[in-house]
Amino acid sequence: MNEKLLKPYNAKDTEERIYKLWEERGFFNPDNLPDDRKESFTIIMPPVNANGSLHAGHGLVMTIEDIMIRYKRMRGYRALWLPGLDHAGFETQVVYEKKLEKEGRTRFGMDPKELYKEILDFTLENSKNIKSQIRNMGASCDWSREKFTLDSGIVKSVHQTFKRMYDDDLIYRGNKIISWCAKHQTSFSDLEIKDEERVDQFYYLKYGPFTIATARPETKFGDKYVVMHPNDKRYQKYKHGQKLTLEWINGPIEATVIKDSSIDMEFGTGVMTITPWHDNADFEIAERHGLDKEQIIDDQGKLLSLAGEFAGVHIKKARPLIVEKLKSKGLVEKIDENYKHIVRTCYKCGTVIEPQIKSQWFVKMKPLAIKALERINNGEITYIPEHYKKITLHWLENIIDWNISRQIVWGIPIPAKICDECGEGMIDIEDTIVKCTKCGGEARKDNDTFDTWFSSGQWPFLSLGYPDSSDFKTFYPTSVMETGGDIIFFWVSRMIMLGLYITEKIPFKNVYLHGMVLDAKSQKMSKSKGNVIDPLVLTDKYGTDAFRMGMVVGNTPGTSLALAEDRIRGYGKFANKVWNAARFVLDNTKDLNTEEIHKYDEEDKKSDEDLNNLITEITKEMDDFKFYIVAEKLYHYFWHTFADIIIERSKKKILEGRNADSAKALLYSQLTTLLKVLHPFIPFVTEEIWSMLPQKEKRLLMVEKWPHTNV
RNA sequence: GCGCGGUUAGCUCAGUUGGUAGAGCAAUCCGUUUACACCGGAAAGGUCGUAGGUUCGAGUCCUACACCGCGCACCA
């Protein structure tokens, strides 16, 4: 018997060696695969954020995608799984800022070039770590094709997309109201905002002859328009455009009456004043009527000179002071203490978002969304689970323009010049423009970077070397996009739109969305709660095969997974069981001529058929992405049929010499078949056992053919 | 407010076209047998959130409600 088989299974010793063997043999690269493979199967790995360690969610990604790719590779496809790393713009910058903070430093005031270099070094250092952790998960991705979102070729292509979209009138420089985080000093798209329900005080203030209601009295200094519904009978005597002089926070002002049908007559008093610079709805009203807009709050969140004696006070502290003053002037009519409303906050730090009017680059989304809607409605993309399709359609139908400018250094620079005199934005990839093409004024470099999703939204075709590479021709459109359901809008939907725009093809045929990995009690993992489970601790303790089984068994797409250590431990036993069953089989079939065809007795024949039927069943389920049920069925068959029944039965037959050949042949046949079908799930232990089979001319298990089925 | 999930054994979850409820872990009892004590055998455990409806038959289909989670929304 092979010496290794005398010892108990040792996952740790095996895994590193086997992974190395796989890499050396080169089959991760589809160009090196044996046999004539015509049809390709492609998965682009969601580029991993190179700003930390692999977390449990990554563990799930690597497991599911590796199962898919190994399965298709065994089914004879040109299987490509392309790995990548993401610079992850804002996310990484936030991580790095925290690091700076710990060192008593801050990014503000730092030389941008110096900061960029520091973050780049940090990212490159991390990426080494990440890549070794991906290997640890058994990922059979093609490292020779690895891409990073800041590779010069990628950056170049992103710049070209930017220009092409500008030329096609899909990108514009707009002076619009955007969401601003005063802590991070950058603008966001609407997706980076988290709505939060809060209970606040609601103030009814006397505004001349009106009573206006507001939750933010501290923004009201500049309010000189008072708005009501044109059909509101209560205010019929006031005409649109009518001017009134009234006493306000810092003295008398002249107010103008505006009639606008967006006003809800039922709400509050049916009258409000507007702050167009710091409120989306107010901005819209001001735009409709061509009203003045004045900035009240600066980028740091402090009141500007318009606030008079309150200038320089931070917005968070201003409210009680101003309410006090309003009260002293007798302008407060009443205060509702129990006002429930939604506050928009920064998804990262929870700071209340302060809308600001700024000049930024925007993508016109409607034309892009229309094309995506058409293809999705045609059924060209399959969503797993299906309900994500509905969610996507709803989002696309109500899409708004996308602000892609970020005021951070870490990211792909926006190749543009800005004229501060007339506000013109000019695309300048070659960096040659010095004067404004419109007014001749000074043109300065745009210091902003792209929203990271602008580049990752192009990832499927960029990572394959669009437009000229043979890879792009061979592997695009890709087969499956597997990622977390939480980035369905951020990433998946934008990839569809940008992919269609640039390549005129859907970027992927299937979208497989997994749920969140939660802790054992179904709580979200977070550092502050201290319930973070490190996948590498688990793979170290129980083996990667065990971890993978734990990730996939019973884990239906789209639903979250409670990751309990017991679960993984249980599947560690399974790997051991497979190992021991193999020991038994190999020990008892030494004298069996495995090249010869054997006859089974009745019960063995039945077992042979049973397994064939199972293979047929699971093959169909694999094609339907039902890995959760396949893993469970194989687990169950191996343990409770193959080991408990077939092996136990064979002991008797072999001992008594009754139909011993039939028994031995069945043992060997079932073991080899089971190793193949188990391989995508538990690749290490199966490959290790495979290497010990007494067959001549043997391939690696990873490129063996999936068992023939009746399908 | 609108929408989407979920509610099944102590815990975590499966349950494909409607046909007598399943797995893992935990807990119970017994057992060293050609691999495996990281084992084997046995037994236990559920009025499938609630209330109606369709049906010969509903965990599964329909309606309403409750609770949990999530997403979307410019009511100041």
CA-to-C1' distance for A467 and B51, Å?
61
List the nucleotides on chain B closer than 7 A to a protein CB: 3-6, 11-15, 22-26, 33-36, 38-41, 71-76
Cα A518 from Cα A486, distance rounded (Å): 14
Q: What is the pLDDT of residues A486-506, one digit of tens each?
A: 899 999 999 999 999 999 999
Least confident of A23-27, A429-433, A455-459, A515-519: A515-519
Average pLDDT rounded to a whole number, residues A218-232 = 92
Q: Judging by beta carbons within 10 Å of its beta carbon (0-12, 13-18, 19+), is residue A3 exposed, middle or buried?
A: exposed
- Tabulate helix, strand, coil % of chain A (nearest 5): 45, 20, 35
Can you read off the two tokens belonging to residue A518?
């939660």
Tell me phi and psi for residue A450, to 5 degrees. Answer: -75, 145
Q: What is the pLDDT of residues A643-683, one digit of tens each?
A: 999 999 999 999 888 889 999 999 999 999 999 999 999 99
Asked whether residue A546 carries a pLDDT value surpassing 80, the answer given is yes
CA-to-C1' distance for A5 and B33, Å?
21
Question: Residue A6 — pLDDT band, cuts 50, 70, 90?
Answer: low
Asked whether residue A212 carries a pLDDT value surpassing 80, the answer given is yes
Q: What is the pLDDT of residues A323-354, one digit of tens each?
A: 999 999 999 999 988 888 889 999 988 899 99
Average pLDDT value over all residues in chain A: 92
Q: Judging by beta carbons within 10 Å of its beta carbon (0-12, 13-18, 19+), is residue A700 exposed, middle or buried?
A: middle
Alpha carbon separation from A297 to A186, A276, A359, A405 (Å, rounded): 15, 12, 16, 21
CA-to-C1' distance for A570 and B26, Å?
12
Contact A191, A489 (CB under 8 A): yes
CA-to-C1' distance for A559 and B8, Å?
16
Can you read off the two tokens belonging to residue A393?
């359609």
User: Which nucleotide in the DNA or RNA is closest to residue A274, CA to C1'?
Assistant: B76
Q: What is the pLDDT of residues A102-125, one digit of tens each?
A: 999 998 889 999 999 999 999 999
The candidate with the shortest Cα–Cα distance to A257, out of A246, A242, A272, A270, is A242
DSSP state of A672: H
Asked whether residue A529 carries a pLDDT value surpassing 80, the answer given is no
Using the C1' atom of nucleotide B26, identify the protein residue whose alpha carbon is closest: A566
Q: What is the pLDDT of residues A281-338, one digit of tens each?
A: 999 999 999 999 999 999 999 999 989 899 999 998 999 999 999 999 999 999 988 8
- DSSP codes, A13-24: HHHHHHHHHHHH
The candidate with the shortest Cα–Cα distance to A135, out of A59, A74, A44, is A59
Average pLDDT rounded to a whole number, residues A614-636 = 91
CA-to-C1' distance for A629 and B7, Å?
22
- Percentage of residues in chain A with pLDDT exceeding 70? 99
**Model pLDDT, residue A604:** 92
Residues 6+ apart with CB under 8 A from A183: A346, A349, A351
Question: Residue A4 — pLDDT band, cuts 50, 70, 90?
Answer: low
Contact A548, A505 (CB under 8 A): no
User: Which nucleotide in the DNA or RNA is closest to residue A563, CA to C1'?
Assistant: B12
CA-to-C1' distance for A631 and B30, Å?
31
Cα A153 from Cα A623, distance rounded (Å): 35
Tell me phi and psi for residue A479, to 5 degrees. Answer: -90, -50
**Model pLDDT, residue A593:** 82
Average pLDDT rounded to a whole number, residues A188-212 = 91
Q: What is the pLDDT of residues A360-415, one digit of tens each?
A: 999 999 999 999 999 998 889 999 988 899 889 989 988 999 999 999 999 999 99
Asked whether residue A2 carries a pLDDT value surpassing 60, the answer given is no
User: Which nucleotide in the DNA or RNA is closest to residue A645, CA to C1'?
Assistant: B40
Cα A377 from Cα A397, distance rounded (Å): 12
**Model pLDDT, residue A591:** 85
**Model pLDDT, residue A241:** 93
Question: Residue A1 — pLDDT band, cuts 50, 70, 90?
Answer: very low
**Model pLDDT, residue A416:** 97
Cα A536 from Cα A531, distance rounded (Å): 15
